[in-house]
Amino acid sequence: MPELPEVETTRRGISPRIKHKTIENVTIRHRQLRWPIPANLKAKCKGQIIKDVSRRGKYLLIKLDTGTIIMHLGMSGSLRVIDCNIPPEKHDHIDIVLNTDKCLRLRDPRRFGAVLFTTGDPLEHKLLKHLGPEPLEKDFNATYLFNKSRKRNLAVKLFIMDSKVVVGVGNIYASESLFKAGIHPKKAAGKITKEQYASLARAIKSVLKAAIKSGGTTLRDFTSSDGSPGYFSQSLKVYGRKGEPCSKCGKTITHSVIGQRATYYCTHCQK
């Protein structure tokens, strides 16, 4: 479910509703996510004021007085701010209870997500320290991609999905961006020209921006923090469109598996 636009949509949804609020309690129903929820999380959070809600890649950073909650939504996670008296459902693993009769509730059926805590600089945390640039920042550009990709022989789709290269480009938007840039997803990253990378960097930025603007992509059950769906799925040009006509040339959209992930592209438009 969540790629960068979905995480950003979530951040924007929850931030105004939890910022400056005090955490009264933390209810953990299922500790075992990708990693166990830290045993001391409740003690670390109780009584703390939420100072800020930011994002690095797909990690959400909830800054408290003395430390930061690091959250990742994994493959199926979602966050909502709801009334505490709404009974939790099967996959509602943790409630961060606020002093407003509301709580921040994490639902994650597949439990690939994470809830961690750090007292240090979260950007120096093991999981965040080696992340590549943010795709919407200026340091993510043709020169960066070109230099970073020299002597890399893997498929360009896998290259741009590598969080050490750039954060936030997941399986859907990788296919969409490569289509927009006219680059074949299996082409070796190291054989792509600087001009093509200029086009790809622009495509990634514009696809992600457009997706954020429309509230993310809804596939299956993604809803933003207020329960409304994202509408970007209507704008997807190739993802999930195997067998349909290409919107540029009319030839049939191809599906194949790259690095164990579904990939969609047009063999006529993408070389």
Q: Which residues are catalytic?
A: 2-3, 58, 261
Among 10, 15, 68, 171, binds DNA (CB under 7 A): 171
Q: Does 244 bind DNA (CB under 7 A)?
A: no
The string of DSSP codes covering 18-49 is HTTPBEEEEEES--BSSSBPPTTHHHHHTT-B
Among 42, 91, 202, 248, binds DNA (CB under 7 A): 91
- 175, 233 Cβ separation under 8 angstroms: no
Q: Does 8 bind DNA (CB under 7 A)?
A: no
Q: Does 234 bind DNA (CB under 7 A)?
A: no
User: Closer to DNA at the Cβ: 85 or 257?
Assistant: 257
Q: Does 243 bind DNA (CB under 7 A)?
A: no
Single-letter code of the amino acid located at 154: L
Q: Which stretch binds DNA (CB under 7 A): 137-145, 158-166, 177-185, 197-205?
A: 158-166
User: Closer to DNA at the Cβ: 70 or 82?
Assistant: 70
Q: Does 221 bind DNA (CB under 7 A)?
A: yes
| Helix axes 194-213 and 171-181, enclosed angle (nearest 10) | 130
Q: Does 170 bind DNA (CB under 7 A)?
A: yes
End-to-end CA distance of the chain: 28
Q: Which stretch binds DNA (CB under 7 A): 18-26, 73-81, 98-106, 206-214?
A: 73-81
Q: What are phi and psi of 115, to 5 degrees?
A: -130, 115
- 165, 159 Cβ separation under 8 angstroms: yes
How far apart, in whole angstroms, are the C-alpha atoms of residue 79 and residue 247? 34
Q: Does 262 bind DNA (CB under 7 A)?
A: yes
Among 34, 63, 125, 268, binds DNA (CB under 7 A): 34
Count of beta carbons in the 10 Å neighbourhood of residue 136: 14
Among 32, 40, 85, 234, binds DNA (CB under 7 A): 32
- 200, 183 Cβ separation under 8 angstroms: yes
- Both structure tokens of 266: 């047009």
Q: Does 79 bind DNA (CB under 7 A)?
A: no
Shortest distance, CB of residue 68 to DNA, whole angstroms? 16
Q: How far is CA 4 from CA 13, 135, 138, in A?
A: 14, 9, 17
Q: Which residues bind DNA (CB under 7 A)?
A: 1-3, 6, 32, 34, 57-58, 72, 74-76, 90-91, 109-112, 126-127, 151-154, 158, 161, 163, 170-172, 189-190, 217-222, 259-262
